[in-house]
Chains A and B, each alone.
Chain A
Amino acid sequence: MSSFVGIILLLIAVEIPGSFQHDRGHSKFRGPQVSQTAGTPWPMPLSYHTQATFTYVDAGEFKFTDVDESSSCSILEEAYNRYFPLIFGRRPETLFFKSSFKAPTDAMTELMVKLEKPCKDTDYPMLESDESYTLDVNGNQAMLSASEIWGVLRGLETFSQIVYQSNDGGFVVNNTQIVDKPRFNHRGMLLDTSRHFISVPILMTNLDAMAQNKFNVFHWHIVDDPSFPYQSEKFPKITNMGAYDPETHVYTQTDIKNIIEYARMRGIRVVPEFDSPGHTSSWGYGQPDLLTKCYTGSQPNGQFGPVNPVPNSTYVFLKSFFTEIAQLFPDHYMHLGGDEVSFACWQSNPEITSFMKKMGYTSYSQIEEYYMQNLLNIVGGLGKGYQIWQEVIDNGAKVRADTVVEVWKAGWEAEMEKVTKLGYKTLLSTCWYLNYISYGSDWMAYYGCEPFNFNGTDAQKQLIQGGETCMWGEYVDGTNVISRLWPRASAVGERLWSAKEINSAFLAQSRLTEHRCRMVRRGFQAEPITGPGFCREEFGGV
C-alpha cells in the first residue's frame, strides 16, 4: 500500500492557483488542473502493490489462457471477447500504435486465468456471490485467479485498467500484485425509466459503464406515475394505456430478457422495482379499479390516489402480476417500493374510512402497512426476496428476515441505526442522488459519504449490504443520462468497493481523472469533473 501512495503522491502535480480572485468562476489553474495517473485501477483494490518496473504487452499476440479449460463457460469466453478491445482499443486511432510500435520479443503475450469453481453457461449473480480475485503481474507473466466466475470478471476489469499505453505507443503493464474483494456485496445503480424513457441501447451502454466501475446491481425503477413502459403479457392494457407511446416507448419481454442477459454476462444483477401503493398513476388507465377513487364531499372527483388496499380484487391482481414479474426476472430479489404514499386521497374515500373502522385502525400508516403486508406475503409466497424503501419499516410492517431495506431520506444516520437494530439488511442511497446537480467537482461529496457513519454495534454494521446511487428521471433521458451519471457514479463505485480507508478525494482525483479518460476512450460520454484538462482521446474526435 505504501508504495502505491508514494507513486500517487509523485504523480499528483497539482499547480497551486496564482490568484483566488476569479470572480468569473474561471479557475486560474494553468494547464490541466489535475494530472492523470497512468495505469492505476478504479475502484482501488483491497491490496495493491505496484512497482516502477514494467513490461510491454504484445497487442498482436496477446491472448487469455484458461489454466483449466474444463472450468470455463460462455460467460468467461464472452468476457475474453469483450476485454480484448477494451484493453487495446477499438478506435482506429489506437491501431496506429499497434502498427507503428513493435513490441519487444520478451513482451507479455498472455494472461493466465485460473477459475477454481467451474462456471456454467447459465450462472446468475447473487447478493452472496464471491467477487474476490487475485492478480499477479511479474515480468511477462500474468496470472488472474478467482474462486467464482464473478471474481474473474472483476479481475479482468482490473487487468484491463492496469495495462496502459506508454508514450512510445506500446502497451505496458507495471509489475503488480493485487488481492481484491469488494467491501460491500450490493453496489447498485437506480435508473428511472418512467419519467423519461431510456432506450435499450443506452441502458446497455450504461451496463458496460457499470461493469467498468464494478457495480453489480441494476435497480430498474421501471414504472412510476408518469408512464408504464413495462410491456406486461398478462395485462397488456396497462402498458397500452400507461406507456407514453405503446409502440415505441416500451420494454418488451424480449428487450427485458436481453437486458438481463447483457447484465448477467457482466456479473450484474437486475432488480426490478414495481413501486406501490403510491407512484402508480400510470397503472390505473388500463386497470381501472386498481386505484383509490378520490372524493370531494360525497362524490368521486375523477382523481385517483394510491392502489386501493381494501378490495380482494387488488390482491388477486397483484398476485397475478407479480407472478409474471417473478418469472421474467431471475434475481432472487424484487424491489417493491413502498415510498411516499400520500394519504389525502385515502382520507377522502368513504370505503377506506369504513374499512379502517372495521379493522380498528386509527392511522393511515396502518392501512399502508396492511397493504404492504399483503403484498409482501404474495411476493414471499412466490419464493422471492424483496427490497423495499425505508417507509415500509418506518410504518411497522413485518417483513421476511432476508428483506433488504433501502434508506433514502435525509437523516439517514438515525434511520440506519434504527433499521439495523431491527436486524434487517440495509442499503444506503440518501447521499448518492445523482439527479441533483451543482456546479463543479460535486463528486467529492459522494466520495466522502461513509455508510458506516452511524451509531451502531459491529453486528449492526455487518448488516449494511452496500448502497445505491440513484438517477431519477425528471430531467434526464437519452440525451444526457450517461454524461450526468459518469464519472460521478464512479465516486460511489469506489466508496462501495474499496476499503473504508481509501477516502481521500485529494488522493483519488488523479486516479479518477485517468479513469474518466479511460471511460471516454472506451466510448462513454463520461464528463470532466476535475476541472480543466484533457484526455488523450476525446469524445467526438481527437
Chain B
Amino acid sequence: MRRIVLSWILCIVLSIQVVNGWLTANNARSPLLSILVVSTCCVSRLHGYLTYLALRMPLKGTRPPPGSPWPMPKEWNPTSDLVTFDPDNFRFSSNLMNCDIVIQAIERYTPILFGYKGVKKAAGLSPLTELKMTISSNKCDQYPRMAMDESYELSVGDTAELTANQVWGMLRGLETFSQLIFYQDGQIFMNKTRIIDGPRFSYRGLHTDTARHYIPLPILKKNLDAMSYNKFNVFHWHIVDDQSFPFVSKTFPELSKKGAYTNKHVYKPEDVADIIEYARVRGIRVIPEFDTPGHTHSWGKAFPELLTPCYANGVPGTPIWGKYAAYENFDVTKEFVYEFLGKFFAEVKEVFHDEYIHMGMDEAYYRCWQSNPDITAFMQERRIEGNYSKLEQYYAERTLGIISDLGRKYVIWQDPVENGAKVRDDTVVMVWKGGNTAHEDHWNSYMEKIAPRGYNTILASCWYLNYIKYPPDWEALYTCDPQDFNGSQAEKDRVLGGETCMWSEYVDGTNILPRYWPRASSVAERLWSPKIVKNTTDAMYRIDQQRCRMVRRGIPAEPILDGYCGDYDWGFGDVDTPEVDKPPTCTGGFRLEGRITLLVLPLLIVFVL
C-alpha cells in the first residue's frame, strides 16, 4: 500500500509543479525529461505499461507520456503544460461548417473525446473551449484521391487551432488531436503541443478479402473506424475470388446469384454504397479488386463460357488433379470475354468512385491454357509465340484498355510484369511476393526488377497479416521499409506506399478485427511517419497505448504486452452484475450497431405478417 501512496504523492506533487509552471519548457533544462518524469508516474496509474513485474525487471525503451499520437507525426513538440476540457462547454468551429465531411467528423469525434463515463474537466486548470479548424482551400472536397493533401498543423496552447490545406488534412489532424487527450481519475488532460504533420507516402492501404470468407458489413465498418484511427487512407476491397462472388452486379445479377455462398452472403448495391460513404467521410478511398484472368472460378458458375476448358486426353473440361481443374482462368482468346468485361467494368465504374480499379492479374497459371488446342491455334494465328506471358500481355493490354477508355486508372499485382509482359506505362504495380515463404526471393529483389521498368509501385509483401506465428510479430511488420531496396532515387520516389493484406482463408467476422489490430498499426506508422521513426523499443509502448486507445473506442485490438488498459479493458461493463442465465451473445465481441437491429426489425415484421 505504501508503494501506491508514495507513487501517488509523487505523481500529485509533480503534477502540481507542472501546473505551476515549475517545470515548464522555459525553466527546465530538458522539457522532454520533465514530461517523462511526470508521465512515467502518471502512466503507471493510467495504463498497464508498468506492471509490477516491469517495475522489478524493467523493460528497455522509453515509455511515452499519455496522449502520445500514433502514427508519430512528422514534428511533435509537446510541452509539459497541461490544459483541460469541459465536455459541456467545448465546440469545434470551422470555416467549412456546412461541409458534410466536417460536420460528420465533429459528430464522430465529440464522443471519442468526451464520451466516457464520468470524465470531467480537471480541477485547477482553465479549460480550452474551442478547436478552431481552418481549411485553407475553403473547399468541401467530395472524394479522397491519390493526390489529396493530408498535411496539417495543430497547435494546442491557450487556444487550439488546426489548419489544413484540404478537408483530408483536417481529418488527420482531428484524429491526432483526439489522441493527445488523456484521462486521469476521470479528469481530462492534454499537453500543450505543436504539431506539423503530413504523410510520408500517399498510398497507405489495407486489404480485405471478402471472398474466401464473407465479412459482414458492421465488421467492415468497424475496420474502417480502426483504419481512420491509424491514418490509413485506402481500403483495397478484394471483393470476389475463386471461392465466392458476393458482389451483386445489376448488369449481371447471375454472378452473385450463382457465385455467392448464399443469397445472404452478398454485398448489394446499397451495401457497397454504404461502405463507400462510410469510408469517404473518414478520408478513406475504396479501391475494388476484380481479379482476373485467374482467381475467377466463381464467375464461371454463372458464365462458364468465360473460363478456359482445360484438356486431358483430348477431352475439354477435364481436370488433371495437381495441375489444373476442369476450368481455369478466363479464356482470353474469346471476344465474348472482352465484351463482358466492358459491360461489367462500366458498372463497376458507376458503383465505385475512386479513380483507380484494382485489376488483379495474379497467379494466372499457364498450364490449363497450354492444354487447350484452341488457345494454341489462336496464338499461332496471332503469332503470339511460345511464351504464354505474351498471351497474358495480350489480355492485360486489352483489359487495361477497357479501363482506360472508361477514364479510370489501374493497379495490378506484380505477376504479369514479373513474367515479362509489358503492361501500360501508367500501371501501378503492387509487389506482393517475397515476404513470407522461404522458397521465394526476398521482396526487394522483385522491387529491384520491377522499379527500373518505370512503373509506380506499392509494396505489400512484408505485411500479410493472415500469416500468424507466436507473438510478438509486430516488430517485423514495423521495420519493413518499402524504400529499402537497391535502386535510384527516382525508383524509390515511384514507391507510392504500401498495403497490408488479410487473405481470409482463416478469418471472418469472429476474428478478423483482433487479427488486424494492432498489428496493422505497425504498418500504419511505417507508411505515415518519417523513415527515421523506427526504434522498436520506443514504439512498443506507444503502440500498446494505441491498442488501448482502440479498445477504448470499441475495436477489439489484441494485446502485445502483458498488462492491462485501465478501467476499460475488453469485456467490461456488466462485471458487477453478471446475469447467471445471460445468453452468450457476443459477450466477447463488440456491440452490433443499432442500425442492424433497425434493419432486422422491419424484416421480422414482414415475415410475421
Chains A and B form a bound pair: yes
Q: Is A202 an interface residue (CB 8 A)?
A: yes
Q: Chain B residues near A398 (CB, 8 Å)? A: none
* With A21-B365, A436-B470 as contacts: A525 and B567 at CB distance below 8 Å: no
Q: Which residues of A contact B213 (CB under 8 A)?
A: 528, 532-534
**Contacting residues, chain A, for B219 (C-beta < 8 A):** 540-541
CA distance A330 to B511 in the complex (A): 35
> Smallest distance from the beta carbon of B594 to chain A beta carbons, Å?
13
CB closest chain-B residue, reference A486: B510
Compute how far the CA of A205 lies from the CA of B367 in the bound complex, rounded to whole angstroms: 50
In the assembled complex, B420 has its CB within 8 A of some CB on chain A: no
User: Are B559 and A201 interface neighbours, CB within 8 A?
Assistant: no
Inter-subunit contact B212/A532 (CB<8 Å): yes
**Taking the nearest CB of chain A, how far is it from the CB of B258, in angstroms?**
11
**Which listed residue, B365, B569, B586, touches A197 by the CB 8 Å rule?**
B569
A90-B585, A534-B261 given; A19·B328 CB < 8 A: yes
CB pair B218 A82 closer than 8 Å: no
User: Interface code A470-505, partner B: CB below 8 Å = 1, 0 otherwise?
Assistant: 000111111111111000000000000000000000
Q: How far is the CB of A248 from chain B (nearest CB, A)?
A: 5
- Which residues of the other chain, A, contact B241 by a CB distance below 8 angstroms? 26
Is A96 a contact partner of B604 (Cβ separation < 8 A)?
Answer: yes
Query: What string of 1s and 0s marks CB contacts (under 8 Å) between B560-600 and chain A?
Result: 10111011011111110010111111111100100010001
B51 touches A534 (CB 8 A): no
B1, B563, B572, B588 pick with most chain A CB within 10 angstroms = B588
CB B462 to nearest CB in A, in angstroms, measures 14
* Residue on A nearest B609 in the bound complex, by CB: A99
Would you call A30 and B298 a contact (CB within 8 A)? yes
Q: Is A163 an interface residue (CB 8 A)?
A: no
Total interface residues in chain A, CB < 8 Å: 104
**What B residues does A528 contact at CB under 8 A?**
213, 505-508, 510-511
Residue of A nearest to B211 (CB): A532
Query: Per a CB cutoff under 8 Å, which of B212, B261, B584 touches A204?
Result: B584
Q: Flag A252-277 by CB within 8 Å of B: 1 or 0 each.
A: 00010010011001000000000000
Within 8 A of A (CB), among B402-449: 432-433, 436-437, 440
CA distance A520 to B262 in the complex (A): 17
Which of A100, A281, A539 has a CB less than 8 Å from the CB of B509?
A539
Contact A25 B244 (CB under 8 A): no
Contact A199 to B470, CB < 8 A, known contacts A32-B243, A204-B584, A538-B508: no
**B578 — which chain A residues lie within 8 A by C-beta?**
200-201, 204, 255, 258, 262
Kindly state the separation between the CA atoms of A200 and B324 in the bound complex, as whole angstroms: 51
Report the number of A-B residue pairs with Cβ-Cβ less than 8 Å.
Answer: 312
Q: With CB as the reference atom, state the residue of chain B lying closest to A240.
A: B1
Tell whether, in the assembled complex, residue B506 and residue A529 are in contact, meaning their CB atoms are under 8 Å apart.
yes
Given the known inter-chain contacts A304-B56, A539-B510, please indicate yes or no for A531 contacting B505, CB distance below 8 A: yes
Asked whether, in the complex, the Cβ of A100 is within 8 Å of the Cβ of B216, the reply is no
A282 interface residue, CB < 8 Å from B? yes
Q: Say which size band chain B's interface belongs to.
A: 35 or more
Whether a CB of chain A sits under 8 angstroms from the CB of B469 is: yes
Report Cα–Cα, A512/B242, bound state, in Å. 23
- A44 close to chain B: CB less than 8 A: no
Whether A208 sits at the interface, judged by CB under 8 Å, is: yes
- Asked if residues B589 and A539 are in contact (CB atoms below 8 Å), the reply is yes
**Is B524 interfacial (CB-CB < 8 Å)?**
no
Q: Which of B48, B562, B608 contacts A474 (CB 8 A)?
A: B562
The 0/1 profile, CB within 8 Å of B marked 1, for residues 81-94 of chain A is 11001000010110
Q: Does A38 contact B (CB under 8 A)?
A: no
Contact A480 B511 (CB under 8 A): yes
What residues of chain B lie closer than 8 Å to A81, measured between beta carbons?
Answer: 581
A474–B561 CA distance with the chains assembled, in angstroms: 7
Chain B, residue nearest A16 (CB): B321
Q: Which residues of B contact A304 (CB under 8 A)?
A: 56
- The listed residue (B1, B470, B510) touching A237 by CB distance below 8 A is B1
Residues of chain A within 8 A of B365, CB atoms compared: 19, 21
Q: Does B118 contact A (CB under 8 A)?
A: no
Whether B564 lies near A249 (C-beta < 8 A) is yes
Among the 9-residue stretches A412-420, A437-445, A448-456, the one with 4 or more Cβ atoms under 8 Å from chain B is A437-445
Judge whether A21 and B363 touch: CB under 8 Å.
yes
> Min CB distance, A184 to chain B, in Å?
25
Contacts of B466 in A (CB 8 A): 25, 439
Bound-state CA distance A536–B242 (Å) is 19
Asked if A195 is an interface residue, CB under 8 A from chain B, the answer is yes
Contact B325 A18 (CB under 8 A): yes
CB of A22 within 8 A of CB of B363, answer yes
Give the distance in Å from the alpha carbon of A92 to the alpha carbon of B602 in the complex.
Answer: 11
Output the least CB separation between A360 and chain B (Å).
33
Residue in chain A with minimal CB distance to B48: A244
Verify if A361 is at the interface (C-beta below 8 Å from B).
Answer: no
Q: Please, which residues of chain B bring their CB within 8 A of the CB of A28?
A: 242, 325
Taking the complex as formed, is B471 at the interface, i.e. its CB lies under 8 A from any CB of chain A? yes
- Whether A19 lies near B367 (C-beta < 8 A) is yes
Main secondary structure of the interface of A (DSSP, over half): loop
- Cβ of A317 < 8 Å from any Cβ of B? no
A window 17-75: CB within 8 A of B: 17-33
Q: Does A511 contact B (CB under 8 A)?
A: no
B383 at the interface (CB under 8 A from A): no
**A226 within 8 A of partner (CB):** yes
Cβ contacts under 8 Å, B468 to chain A: 437-439
CB pair A24 B503 closer than 8 Å: yes
**Among B101-109, B159-167, B197-205, B550-558, which stretch is in contact with chain A?**
B550-558
Contacts of A435 in B (CB 8 A): 470
Interface residues of A in 403-439 (CB under 8 A from B): 435-439
Q: Mark A276-313, 1 if CB is under 8 A from B, else 0.
A: 00000110011000000000000000011000000000
Shortest distance from the beta carbon of B49 to any chain A beta carbon, whole Å: 11
**B residues in contact with A262, CB < 8 Å:** 578, 580
Residue in A19, A96, A281, A529 with the greatest tally of chain B CB atoms within 10 Å: A19
A241-B3 contact given A227-B52, A439-B468, A481-B588, CB 8 Å threshold: yes
Q: Is the CB of A483 within 8 A of B514?
A: yes
User: Judging by beta carbons under 8 Å apart, are B51 and A226 in contact?
Assistant: yes
A10 within 8 A of B: no
Query: Are A524's CB and B584's CB within 8 A?
Result: yes
- Report if A459 contacts B (CB, 8 A): no
Tell me which residues across on chain A come within 8 A of B319, comparing CB atoms. Answer: 16, 18
- B328 close to A542 (CB less than 8 A): no
Q: B300 to nearest A CB, angstroms?
A: 9
The smallest beta-carbon distance between B474 and chain A, in angstroms, is 11
| Bound CA span A383–B571, Å | 36
B29 CB within 8 Å of chain A: no
A244–B563 contact, CB under 8 A?
yes
User: Chain B residues near A473 (CB, 8 Å)?
Assistant: 562
Interface status of B464 (Cβ within 8 A of chain A): yes
Q: How far is the CA of A536 from the CA of B262 in the complex (A)?
A: 8
> Does B348 reach chain A (CB closer than 8 Å)?
no
A245 contacts the other chain (Cβ, under 8 Å)?
yes
A198 interface hit (Cβ, 8 Å): yes
A95 within 8 A of B: yes
Q: Give Cα A451 to B575, complex, Å.
A: 38
Check A121 for interface membership: any CB of B closer than 8 A.
Answer: no
Is the beta-carbon distance between B584 and A199 smaller than 8 angstroms?
no
- B214 CB to nearest chain A CB (Å): 6
- The reply to whether B218 and A540 contact each other, CB–CB distance below 8 Å, is yes
Tell me the residues in window 507-541 of chain A with beta carbons closer than 8 Å to chain B beta carbons: 520, 522-529, 531-536, 538-541
Quick check: is A324 within 8 A (CB to CB) of the other chain? no
A248 neighbours in B (Cβ, 8 Å): 566-567, 569, 572, 575
The 5 A-B residue pairs with the shortest CB-CB distance, nearest first, are A18-B325, A541-B216, A478-B570, A478-B571, A540-B509
25 A/B residue pairs, CB under 8 Å, sorted by A: A19-B365, A30-B298, A81-B581, A90-B585, A96-B607, A196-B559, A199-B573, A202-B571, A227-B51, A258-B580, A265-B580, A440-B506, A474-B471, A475-B471, A523-B583, A525-B588, A528-B508, A531-B212, A532-B212, A533-B261, A536-B264, A538-B214, A539-B586, A540-B218, A541-B592
Beyond A16-B319, A531-B505, A534-B213, 5 additional pairs, beta carbon < 8 A: A18-B328, A248-B569, A248-B575, A475-B472, A523-B586
